[in-house]
Amino acid sequence: MADPADGTPRRPVLSVSARKIKDNAADWHNLMMKWERLNDDGFTTANKIVNMKISEQKCLKSAEDYSDLMFLRHSLVLCIHCFQTKIQLKMEKLSSTTKGICDLEKFHHGAGSCTAPLFHTWPTAYFYEVSLKLSEMYKKELQLKQTIVQEIAHSANQDLMMVYLSSWLYQPYLDNSSKLLLEAMLLETGHRQC
């Protein structure tokens, strides 16, 4: 359908629930990109700490080296705090919001009746399932990173520190399906085109 005034096609007007789910999908994308950026920054800092600890084991440490190491440890702790407060909690809120939309839909249409999908094929409940699954993955990954920060600070074993770095970099709790789920959500809500 084209607007006769300017000749441009009109987009269909989305319901409030559909608009909120579409906004949530965009928020998921933005939060996951921020997570990746912070993960890279955290890995760089953790790598510096490990390298300093390894070189510290080889030679006598100076007061300046110790001060640098303490600064890097503090930076890594702040990075973890940033993960937690600015990203993971927002991810949980997105899941909660989507759950609220599902509950509202059940209230309006009854628990037994099947409603038409808000977008192409996904029922509203599937947006919640995907959101919850992503949120749980990131929550577990955050807990791992908090443990890694504590362990790197106290470990003297070079091999063990390398395992911690690898775990930080490769994020074992974020499986390949996380990116696929995000892309599917973006495609379903119209943020991505086929």
- Tell me which residue of 176, 162, 118, 167 sits closest to 142, measured CA to CA: 167
d(CA 75, CA 48): 11
d(CA 156, CA 151): 10
CB within 8 Å of 76: residues ≥ 6 apart? 42, 45, 46, 49, 149, 152
Could you write out the three-class secondary structure of 119-149? CCCCCHHHHHHHHHHHHHHHHHHHHHHHHHH
User: Could you report the per-residue pLDDT of 24-57, keeping only the tens digit for each?
Assistant: 999 999 999 999 998 998 899 889 888 888 887 7
pLDDT value at residue 62: 66
pLDDT value at residue 1: 47
Q: Which parts of the chain have pLDDT scores under 70?
A: 1-14, 60-63, 65-66, 111-117
pLDDT value at residue 83: 82
pLDDT value at residue 81: 78
pLDDT value at residue 6: 55
pLDDT value at residue 5: 54
pTM metric for this prediction: 0.83
User: Could you report the per-residue pLDDT of 89-99, keeping only the tens digit for each?
Assistant: 999 999 999 99
pLDDT value at residue 9: 52
